[in-house]
Chain A
């Protein structure tokens, strides 16, 4: 039996950047409804919006070039005061462990997406699935 504040949202959108705002806004709305959360719900909402935006962009960028009609699946789950977000892509994938930290002394235009995700979430993993990959991001809310 799900708890009163459990959240389970599953959305599939075309792998296009025009849907970033839609998914980000849904994440912010979910955060605002977390009445039991003792931290700042608006800040949590921004962070959820940001990690989802970065993960979706990552999924879109790593899609197989030239292939159209691909989708990105977003799964947001909150249970037992833990947030779990999964972003599924249908692309070639990448090596999460080889993504370097940004160079703070000589800042470049790119390379902050995974940094944001790592900074704002407790654990981040990326693994292959049957027909693509999944980036999983977890954070304790208590």
Chain B
């Protein structure tokens, strides 16, 4: 899976460089986020803007990231959700569970 990270103002921006987040690659994302948090990252922003498709496994991986960040008193944010991806968060009510921002820039500002 194409995953890249960038540190901005002490915050880690994780960018998913693939259009699908599904049962085939969600395990890799979950492990990668855990390693970032175990490595000392305390503020994780996941940039989902390239993702045009997410399934239940992808949502589960993001919930795992959020849970692991919370266990370390860290912050976990999602940014750049495409409308049809956002609709899946709404259908499963997970839009109430995650901190979701329109863009990475807004997430960095916490607005």
- Interface of A toward B, CB cutoff 8 Å: 17-18, 20-21, 24, 42-43, 46, 49-50, 53-54, 57, 60, 102, 104, 107-113, 115-116, 119
The CA-CA distance from A17 to B27 in the complex, in Å, is: 12
The CA-CA distance from A104 to B96 in the complex, in Å, is: 10
A113/B56 contact (C-beta < 8 A), A108-B63, A119-B91 known: yes
**A24, B91: Cβ atoms closer than 8 Å:** no
Could you write out 14 A-B pairs with CB less than 8 Å apart?
A17-B22, A17-B24, A21-B20, A24-B22, A42-B84, A46-B53, A46-B84, A54-B55, A57-B57, A104-B92, A104-B93, A109-B63, A109-B64, A112-B92
The CA-CA distance from A50 to B91 in the complex, in Å, is: 13
The CA-CA distance from A70 to B42 in the complex, in Å, is: 43
The CA-CA distance from A119 to B91 in the complex, in Å, is: 8
Measured CB to CB, the nearest residue on chain A to B27 is A17
Interface flags, B4-30, vs A, CB<8A=1, else 0: 000000000000000010111000000
The CA-CA distance from A104 to B67 in the complex, in Å, is: 15
**B60, A57: Cβ atoms closer than 8 Å:** no
**A17, B23: Cβ atoms closer than 8 Å:** yes
- Interface of B toward A, CB cutoff 8 Å: 20, 22-24, 53, 55-57, 59-61, 63-64, 67, 84, 88, 91-94, 97
The CA-CA distance from A20 to B55 in the complex, in Å, is: 11
**B53, A24: Cβ atoms closer than 8 Å:** yes
Measured CB to CB, the nearest residue on chain B to A47 is B84
**A57, B84: Cβ atoms closer than 8 Å:** no
**B84, A112: Cβ atoms closer than 8 Å:** no
Residues of A within 8 A of B97 (CB): 107
**A20, B63: Cβ atoms closer than 8 Å:** no
Residues of A within 8 A of B64 (CB): 109
Residues of A within 8 A of B23 (CB): 17, 20, 53, 57, 60
Residues of B within 8 A of A60 (CB): 23
The 7 A-B pairs with the shortest beta carbon distances in the complex, nearest first, are A112-B56, A109-B60, A17-B24, A104-B93, A57-B23, A113-B56, A53-B55
Residues of B within 8 A of A111 (CB): 56
